[in-house]
Structure 1
Amino acid sequence: MRYGVVAACLVLLLVGTVAANAAEAARDKPNILLIVADNQSAGLLGSYGNPDILTPNIDQLATQGTRFTRAFAANGMCSPTRATLLTGLMPDQHGLHDWLNDAQMTTLPPDWSAVSEFRTIPYTLKENGYSTAMIGKWHIGQPWKPQLGYDYWVTFEHGHTLDFWDKNIIDNDRQYRVTGQHVDDFLGKKAAAYLRDHANTDKPFFMELSFSGPYMNPPTNMGPARNKFYSYYEKQPLTSFPREAISQNYIDQILDSAGDEKLSFLDRILRVVLSKMAGSQQTIANMASQNTHVDANVGRVLDALGESGLQDHTIVIYTSDQGVYYGQHGLWTHTILSEPSTLHETALHVPLIVRKPGAAKGKVVDALIGQYDIPVTILALAGIQQDLPASPGKSFEDMLDNGHGGALHDAIFYEQTETRGIRTDRFAYWKRMDAEFGDDRLYDMNRDPDQTQDLAKEADYQDVVSDLSQRMDAFYKEYSNPAYDLWHGGTAKGTLSYPDKFKARFGRDWHLETRTVAPFADHQ
C-alpha cells in the first residue's frame, strides 16, 4: 500500500514538474499583437510614400521595426485573405474564393467557421500556452461565440461594413449595441483595456486586432465622413488619388446589364461607383480620413502597450487583409468588380511592418513576401516548431535582425477566382482559367511598375510567358485542395462572382457548396 502511495506521489510530482516547466516555457515566449486593417493598400500610408494621408503612428512603427516593401495578399477579397492569415493556405486550399454573404449565415450552424477544418494560428498558440484574443472584424464565419482557439472574443454582427457607426457587438458572452462612436474607436479602447488587464500576468498573449476601417467601399466611404479627420481632408487636393477615366470594362458591364429586372450584387456596386464615388472629392476625402482614423487607433493601442509595461516583450505586426482600387486604371473597390478579375498590385500590395524587441530598427526589406508567410512567421516568432499543414509559407523571422536579408521566395502567388497570378522579382503574370474568362496579362515591373503595358502577346516575351505559366501550374499542382480547386471542378465556400461561367465550364452538376466539416481538433 505504501508503495502505491509513493508511486502516486511520484506521478503527481512528475505531472506538477511538467506543468511547471510548460508554464515557465510559456512565460519566456513573447506576446504577439497582430493588427489588421480592412482594405488598406500599402500606398495609402506615409511610410510607403503617400504624400497626402497622415499616418504618423504607423509610420513611427516602421521606424522602430522592419518595413517590408513587397508583401502581397493571396486574394483581393477579405474573407479569403483573412482565412489565409489564420491558416497559411491559398484560397484554392481553404475554399474561400470571394466573399461570405451575411445573409447566408442564417442558413448555417451558429458555430460555423469557414476554416474550422484546418490548423489555425490561434489554436496552435493556445496549445502552446498562449492566451488568445480576437477583437474586431471577423467575416470568416459566424460571429456569435469564440472560434478556432480564441479565448477572448469581441466582434460585430456583420462581415460587411455598411456603416462605421451604431454596431451590434458580440462581447464574449454578452451582446449589446454601441452608438455614438466610430466602431474603430470602440475596438481601439477594447484592445487597450485588454493590454492593461494583461500587464501583470505571466501568460503570454496573442491578440488579433482587426479594424473595420479604412474599408474603402460603398456605402461606408461614399460622400462625407462623420469622423473627426474628415474636415482636414475636405479641401485638400489629394493628388495621390488618381483621376483617371472610368474603366471601359465597367461601362461595358453596365450596358450589358441594362434592362435587367434584377441586378446582381456586383452590378449594383458598379452603379454606385460610377454615380457616387468616381471623381467625388467628398468620397476621396472620406477615404483619406478613414486611413488616418485607423492610424489614430493604432496609436491608442501602442500607447497602451507602453503604459502597461508590455512593449519590450511584445512583437507588433501591422498589415491589412488586402488593398483596393481607388481610381487606378479607372477601377474602384475590389478585384472582382471588373470582368474578368484583375490583379493589379495596388489591390494586392499590402503594408507589412514588424516591430520585434531587440531587432533592427528602421530596416527596409525588399524581398517578395506572400501573405501565407505571415502565419508561419508568427509561429516561428513564438518559438513554436509546428508546421501549418500544406502551407506554401516560409518564416521571415531572420529578416527582422541586423545583417539578415536576401530572398525568401523567387516568386509569390495570388489568385482571384478565374485568374491566377505569379510575381517574380521582375515580372507579374496573370493566367486566366481559359479564354472564355479573358486574356492572360504580363507586365515588366522594372520598366512598368504602374502596369500599363501588357506584354503577354508580344513575340519577344513568349519564353517568359511559357516559363511563368509552367511555374504557376507546378505551384498549384502542389498547393491546391481538389475539393476547392476551382480550376479543376472544385467548389467554393460562400459566394462566387460569375458562378454561371463555372457551371457552363464543368456541367450542370457543378454547384457552390458551403460545407460543414468536422473541426480540426476532432480529426488530428
Structure 2
Amino acid sequence: MTTPRNILFLMTDQHRSDTLGTYGNPAGTSPVLDELARTGTRFDRWYTPTAICTPARASLLTGYAPFRHKLLANHERNVGYIEDLSDGQFTFVESLRDAGYNTGLIGKWHVGNEKRAADFGFDGPDLPGWHNPIDNADYLAYLDENALPPYEISDRIRGTLPNGGPGNLLAARLHQPVEATFEYYLATRAIEQLERYAEDYQRDDKPFYLALHFFGPHLPYIVPDEYFDMFDPEQIEMPKSMFETFEGKPPVQKNYSAHWTFDSMDIEVSRKLIAVYWGYVKLIDEQIGRVMDAMTRLGLADETSVFFTCDHGEFTGSHRLHDKGPAMYEDIYRTPGLLRVPGAPEGVVREEFVSLLDCTATILELAGLDAAPAVDSRSLLPLVRGEEVAWEEDIVCEFHGHHFPYPQRMIRTDRFKLVVNPDSVNELYDLHVDPDELLNVYELPEMFGTRTELMTRLYSVLRERGDKFYHWMTSMYDVGELGYDPTLSGLDEATYDGSRTEGATP
C-alpha cells in the first residue's frame, strides 16, 4: 500500500466520545464523523495525556508527555508554570516544513502565550484564546464581507457561585444565522486554505498538512436557535454519576462541583445543557462535512489521510461537574479518536490503549519522516492496517492543575483504574463492576493485591519515563525494592544498591 502523504487533521475541544453516533449516541448528532469511522478506524480506548487544553495540545505538537515538555497549564489560569514551549523544542510541524510540506492551522492554537502558530510554521489566521475570539479582526472582516450580523446572545444558562455571584456562563442562544457562526467561518477559511494547497499539490506535487481546530463544543455552548432547540431535553438520559456523593473521594472534587454550580440548578436545566451540547456537536459535524465535501470536489479524498479527535472530554453534569478539572474520570480522559488512511481497511475497531500523543508519530510516519524525536509517541498505522501487534495493556495519564497546582497520575487497565492524589485519598475503580466510577474501593482490604500491583506498575512506568512524580510514591506506597537513595543526596547509595557490608554501623 502506498501511503498518501497529505494529511487533514480535524480537532475539537472538550468533546465527549458518547456524543457521537459511532460511540453509541442514538440522536443523529454526527453523521459525517460516523461516516469517517465507517470508512476508517475507530479507536475505542483513545485517551488524552492530560485533560487540560494547552498541555494536551502541546503534547500533540511535540510527541512529548506533559511532564516532559513542561507546558502544564492554560495561560488564562496559569499560577506559576512556564507559558511557552522552550526554544529548540521538537515539533512535528517544523519537520514537515523542512520536508517540503505546506502546513496550515485554522482555528484554536492555545499552545502557549507569546509563541503563536505562525512561529512554528503554520499558515492561517492568528486566533488566540481558549474560546471563539468573536472580536478577532479576520472574523469581523468575514462578517462584513458577507453582510452577516454581529454576535448577540440571550437565554443565558448559569448557576450561582458559592459566594452568591453569577456562575460561569454555560450556554446561551446565539442570534446569528449558521453562516455567521464562528464554526462556519472556520470551515470556510479551512476550505479556502485547502483550495490553495490543492493547487500546489496538483501543480508541484507539494504535499500538505492542514489542521482545522474548532474551539467548540467547549462550554459555554453558544449556538443558533436551530441547534439550541434541536434536541428535546426530555429525551436526555442523565448520567448515572449525577448521583455522585463524593464519599471517599478527594475533597477537591466537591469543591469543583460547587465552583461549577451544579447543585444550584434544577435537573431540567442540566438536561437542557446536555441537549444544547449535542446541538453544538451537530453544528460542528456539519461544518466538518463541508470540508470533507470540498476535499472530494478537489480530488483529494483518495490522497489524504484524515484524523479526528479532541484535546480532552467534558463532564456535562457527570459526577455533578462541568468543564474538566482535578478528577481523572473517563468522562474527560477517554476521548474520540478516528483515522482514515486511503487504501487501509474500512470499518476497523481497535481496543488497544492509545493516546492523542500517538498522533505525532503517526503524522511523521505518514509523511515518511523519522518519528524517533516524538519520544512519547507511537505510530498508529499498524493498527489502522489491521495488524496484530504487541501493545501496552495499560495507559498512564497525568494532571498538573488548572486554577491551582494539583498533581495527579493515573493508570488504567482493562478492568481497573488507579489515581494517585498526593494531597488526599487515592482512588481505585473497578470499571467492570462500576463503569460510572462512583465507588472508590482503594481502601477495601480485598483490593490490597490489586492496588499494590497497579501502584508498582505505575511507579515503574514513571521511573522509566523520567517523570519525577515517582519520588513521592517511593516513600509513601509499596512500590517494591528500591535501587537508589530516595533522598537523592548521593550520600548513602550503599544502603539501596546492596553494597553495604554486614556489620556496618547503622
Q: TM-score range by the shorter chain?
A: 0.7 to 0.9
1:307 aligns with 297
Cα distance in 2 for residues equivalent to 1:269 and 1:487: 32
User: 1:195 aligns to what SS in structure 2?
Assistant: helix
Deviations 1:324-361 (A, max 9, x none): 11122222221x2xxxx211111111111001000010
Deviations 1:106-144 (A, max 9, x none): xx9xxx833554201111111222111111111112478
Matching residue within 189, 210, 213 for 2:213? 210
Compute the displacement of 1:270 (Å): 2.6
Letter in 1 for 2:441: L
Matching residue within 391, 397, 400 for 1:414? 397
Deviations 1:460-496 (A, max 9, x none): 22122112112212222232466xx6977xxxxxxxx
1:18 aligns with none
Could you say if the C-alpha distance between residues 234 and 440 of structure 1 is closer, same or farther in structure 2, counting changes exceeding 3 Å?
same
1:424 aligns with 413
User: 2:443 aligns to what SS in structure 1?
Assistant: coil
Compute the displacement of 1:382 (Å): 1.6
User: 2:242 aligns to what SS in structure 1?
Assistant: coil
Q: Check if 1:168 corresponds to 2:136.
A: yes
Q: Check if 1:158 corresponds to 2:129.
A: yes
User: 1:67 aligns to what SS in structure 2?
Assistant: strand
Could you say if the C-alpha distance between residues 148 and 86 of structure 1 is closer, same or farther in structure 2, counting changes exceeding 3 Å?
farther
Compute the displacement of 1:227 (Å): 5.3
Report if aligned partners of 2:12, 2:213 keep a CA contact under 8 Å in 1.
Answer: yes
Deviations 1:389-419 (A, max 9, x none): 5x232112111114x1355212211112221
Letter in 1 for 2:10: I
Letter in 2 for 1:191: A
1:22 aligns with none
Compute the displacement of 1:447 (Å): 3.0
1:132 aligns with 103
Q: Check if 1:296 corresponds to 2:286.
A: yes
Cα distance in 1 for residues equivalent to 2:460 and 2:440: 24
User: 2:352 aligns to what SS in structure 1?
Assistant: strand
Deviations 1:241-261 (A, max 9, x none): 5582475589977998xxxxx
Compute the displacement of 1:365 (Å): 0.6
Deviations 1:376-395 (A, max 9, x none): 11111221123125x23211
Compute the displacement of 1:67 (Å): 0.3
Letter in 2 for 1:132: T
Cα distance in 1 for residues equivalent to 2:28 and 2:94: 37
Q: Check if 1:366 corresponds to 2:356.
A: no
Compute the displacement of 1:305 (Å): 0.7
Cα distance in 2 for residues equivalent to 1:103 and 1:170: 27
Aligned length: 428
Compute the displacement of 1:450 (Å): 2.1
Matching residue within 102, 111, 118 for 2:89? 118
Cα distance in 2 for residues equivalent to 1:93 and 1:227: 44
Report if aligned partners of 2:4, 2:342 keep a CA contact under 8 Å in 1.
Answer: no
After the TM superposition, which of the residue ranges 31-40 and 450-459 deviates more from structure 2? Answer: 450-459
User: 1:361 aligns to what SS in structure 2?
Assistant: coil
Compute the displacement of 1:373 (Å): 1.5
Map 1:390-469 → 2, pairs under 5 A: 391-402=375-386, 404-417=387-400, 418-433=407-422, 437-469=423-455
Cα distance in 2 for residues equivalent to 1:227 and 1:381: 41
Could you say if the C-alpha distance between residues 247 and 226 of structure 1 is closer, same or farther in structure 2, counting changes exceeding 3 Å?
farther
Report if aligned partners of 1:143, 1:157 keep a CA contact under 8 Å in 2.
Answer: no
Letter in 1 for 2:45: R
Compute the displacement of 1:149 (Å): 3.0
Report if aligned partners of 1:243, 1:279 keep a CA contact under 8 Å in 2.
Answer: no
Cα distance in 2 for residues equivalent to 1:251 and 1:365: 33
Cα distance in 2 for residues equivalent to 1:47 and 1:461: 35
Cα distance in 2 for residues equivalent to 1:451 and 1:267: 16
User: 1:416 aligns to what SS in structure 2?
Assistant: strand
Matching residue within 20, 27, 31 for 1:56? 31
Letter in 2 for 1:381: L
Letter in 1 for 2:331: T
Cα distance in 1 for residues equivalent to 2:126 and 2:266: 28
After the TM superposition, which of the residue ranges 232-241 and 114-123 deviates more from structure 2? Answer: 232-241
1:188 aligns with 187
Report if aligned partners of 1:233, 1:289 keep a CA contact under 8 Å in 2.
Answer: yes
Report if aligned partners of 2:9, 2:307 keep a CA contact under 8 Å in 1.
Answer: yes
Letter in 1 for 2:207: P
Cα distance in 1 for residues equivalent to 2:301 and 2:194: 10
Letter in 2 for 1:394: R
Q: Check if 1:275 corresponds to 2:264.
A: yes
Could you say if the C-alpha distance between residues 269 and 185 of structure 1 is closer, same or farther in structure 2, counting changes exceeding 3 Å?
farther
Report if aligned partners of 1:367, 1:406 keep a CA contact under 8 Å in 2.
Answer: no
User: 1:76 aligns to what SS in structure 2?
Assistant: coil
Letter in 2 for 1:206: Y
User: 2:235 aligns to what SS in structure 1?
Assistant: coil
Letter in 1 for 2:100: G
Identity %: 26
Compute the displacement of 1:228 (Å): 3.0
Cα distance in 2 for residues equivalent to 1:176 and 1:299: 20
Could you say if the C-alpha distance between residues 206 and 116 of structure 1 is closer, same or farther in structure 2, counting changes exceeding 3 Å?
farther
Report if aligned partners of 2:194, 2:210 keep a CA contact under 8 Å in 1.
Answer: no
Compute the displacement of 1:298 (Å): 1.0
Q: Check if 1:327 corresponds to 2:317.
A: yes
Report if aligned partners of 1:68, 1:364 keep a CA contact under 8 Å in 2.
Answer: yes
- Normalised by the length of structure 2, the TM-score is 0.76
Cα distance in 1 for residues equivalent to 2:394 and 2:95: 28
Matching residue within 62, 81, 86 for 1:87? 62
Cα distance in 2 for residues equivalent to 1:66 and 1:28: 15
Compute the displacement of 1:286 (Å): 1.7
Report if aligned partners of 1:134, 1:208 keep a CA contact under 8 Å in 2.
Answer: yes
Which runs of 5 or more residues in structure 2 are unaligned?
A: 145-149, 151-175, 401-406, 473-506
Letter in 2 for 1:60: E
